[in-house]
Amino acid sequence: AHTVALAVALLASATVCAHPDHVSLAEAAYDEAGRRMEIALQVDAMHLEDIVRRRAGRRIDLADPDASRDPLFGYLQSSFGIRNAGGADWPLSWVGHEIEDQECWLYFEAVAPAVAADGHDAASFIEVHHTVMLDVNERQINTITFTIRDQRSTLSFTRETPPWQRLPLALRALAPPETAGEWLRTNAIDLDAAADAEALPILDLLGDRRLVLLGATRGDGAASQTKASLARGLLGSGRFTTLALELDPLSTLREETAAVARLHATPGRIAGFGLPTLDPPTGTRLLGLIASVAPDAITPDDHARLEQLAPPTAAADRVALETLAAKLRVTLRDRREAFAETHGDAVTAALTRVVEDLPVAIRVAPTGPADADAAAARRDLAIARNLMRLLRSWPPAERVVVWFDRARVDRATATAGATMTAGSWLRQRLRGDAVTTYSILFLATDRDTPLDRLFRPLGPGRFLVDLRRVEPGHWLTQPQSGQPMGVPTPTTAVWPERADAIVVTRPDLTPRPRGG
């Protein structure tokens, strides 16, 4: 609704006098209850398409909303910003865009971060940055009109004006801090209260959702135990029949068996969807399996490459490993019956997956520290695609507990030039069914971010907070800095937009006696 109102206001101002293609107009309305700025920006469509095409290095069709969303939002994030007087950024969130004649309308929001405990920021202004098109049009003029508490103010940006300009705005807190504990104690689900069926209290929340995405807990034993309890309860309830594990296909035979024993569950189906691990132990095992039935297929050079298998750091490394992967694929295809006779169908199927996915694992491996974030995003996409292939091979009614190990389940697009998280990609591909997935993030037991501190009033134990219960304007809709497990760096975000639930585990505190 806000996009229509802003568009009408902007169109009215634009029709007063014709404007050249190097002028952009924008309207921004401040929503006091939601503490967010709702923005409609009108720019020349041809120039915008040319900019995002050059940034992406490929053709971008603005008429295709799926293909153009990430390039457009990436450019917007690099050229528009709002921050508090203290420098805290207002995270941007994408609403959409549309083409009208020769103009493109971009609709987005900026959400105010949390304020001080006294209810106000130290200063009564914000700062705005608006360099859209300034990098390509020397005479570009960007005008944005803000409506804040019935008062209108206009800022203009050119190459000669300061990149950040001030705008009066005293932020108000949504709720005093003492109300947080009361709300949490009323709404959080105590996972210890159900004794031997920890997941049962959340079954009603899930409804008919087909997939429960359990986020990473890698390296945190207490959180992993809570995660296992949730999986055990969901599978033991009979409402979920399948366990999908993000595991290296070569280790699935051993690890899946261990996982089932650890979860005390006997699902009707169990499958792995991870990528092969690029390291010497993987290479050694691959070599042994191939050589067991086809010793003549491996040369001394292949032997050396496999034993030294590791994330490639140069183009030559990638070519060598991808050549080897192709050779192994041909060998497995030609000797498949021999593999099945020697190792059985299960091992043969796992090896087939490794050989098929090895080129993918090579391509998504980081080439250095500077490439780590982009490589993680590429890995997320590859893992999500593997999971989607599994889902499509199963009956539509199959209900699945998905155990993530490294990939991110939170719904977030990465920075410009990268791809989205596994959770975002799955959500987009399954958007035909709005209630397909339920994603759960786990807080680490030893971190002390502002997000972690929000949940301290819960005290000792294990809790699930359903973020879908958060009403518009609630204090949890304020951006908070946090780093749930699986999120690589501390991130300021509106967490109800990132996940459906957060699980808090407090092993360092003495748990309350269970009732009953």
Domain shared by 212 and 144, yes or no: no
Distance CA 53, CA 76 (A): 14
User: What is the model's pLDDT at position 154?
Assistant: 93
**Residue at 19 is within a domain:** yes
User: What is the model's pLDDT at position 492?
Assistant: 77
Distance CA 504, CA 465 (A): 8
**Residue at 411 is within a domain:** yes
Distance CA 401, CA 421 (A): 18
Token pair, residue 473, equals 């304007």
Domain shared by 396 and 360, yes or no: no
3-class DSSP state for residue 57? coil
Choosing from 108, 136, 168, the residue where a domain stops is 168
Domain shared by 69 and 136, yes or no: yes
Q: Is 294 within 8 Å of 335 (Cβ atoms)?
A: yes
Q: Is 505 within 8 Å of 490 (Cβ atoms)?
A: no
Domain shared by 30 and 160, yes or no: yes
pLDDT in tens, the chain (516 residues): 444 455 544 444 444 443 455 789 999 998 876 678 999 999 999 999 999 988 888 888 888 888 888 899 999 999 999 998 777 788 898 888 998 888 899 999 998 876 544 444 445 788 999 999 998 888 899 999 999 877 889 999 999 999 999 998 876 655 555 677 888 888 899 888 765 544 567 888 888 888 999 999 887 888 988 898 888 888 888 888 888 888 877 765 555 455 555 655 555 677 778 888 888 878 878 878 888 888 887 787 877 777 777 778 788 888 888 888 888 888 888 888 888 888 888 778 878 888 888 888 888 888 777 777 778 888 888 999 999 988 888 888 889 999 998 888 988 754 433 457 888 888 877 764 445 889 999 999 888 888 888 888 888 889 999 998 888 777 787 778 888 998 887 877 888 988 999 999 987 544 444 333
Domain shared by 12 and 92, yes or no: yes
**Residue at 417 is within a domain:** yes
Domain shared by 8 and 140, yes or no: yes
- What are the DSSP calls for 385-405, one per residue? HHHHHHHHHS-TT--EEEE-S
Q: Is 422 within 8 Å of 215 (Cβ atoms)?
A: no
Query: Residue 298 belongs to what domain range?
Result: 280-364
Distance CA 377, CA 372 (A): 9
Among 82, 93, 106, CA closest to 26: 106
What is the separation of C-alpha 230 from the centre of its chain, rounded to a whole number of angstroms? 21
**Residue at 515 is within a domain:** no
Per the structure, the count of domains in the chain is: 3
User: What is the model's pLDDT at position 78?
Assistant: 92
Choosing from 136, 168, 200, the residue where a domain stops is 168
**Residue at 32 is within a domain:** yes
Distance CA 41, CA 11 (A): 11
Q: Is 479 within 8 Å of 91 (Cβ atoms)?
A: yes
* Torsion sign across C-alpha atoms 299, 305, 309, 313: negative
**Residue at 161 is within a domain:** yes
Domain shared by 288 and 255, yes or no: no
Among 207, 218, 189, CA closest to 504: 189
Domain shared by 341 and 490, yes or no: no
Distance CA 411, CA 421 (A): 7
User: What is the model's pLDDT at position 252?
Assistant: 53
Residue 306: what residue type?
L
**Residue at 380 is within a domain:** no
Choosing from 168, 193, 211, the residue where a domain stops is 168
Domain shared by 251 and 323, yes or no: no
Domain shared by 96 and 18, yes or no: yes
Q: What is the CATH number of the domain that holds 401?
A: 3.40.50
Domain shared by 17 and 117, yes or no: yes
Please list, in sequence order, all residues whose beta carbon lies within 8 angstroms of the beta carbon of residue 366, skipping any fewer than 6 positions away: 311, 372, 374, 375, 376
**Residue at 54 is within a domain:** yes
User: What is the model's pLDDT at position 48?
Assistant: 92
Domain shared by 265 and 203, yes or no: yes
User: What is the model's pLDDT at position 261?
Assistant: 52
User: What is the model's pLDDT at position 25?
Assistant: 92
3-class DSSP state for residue 107? strand
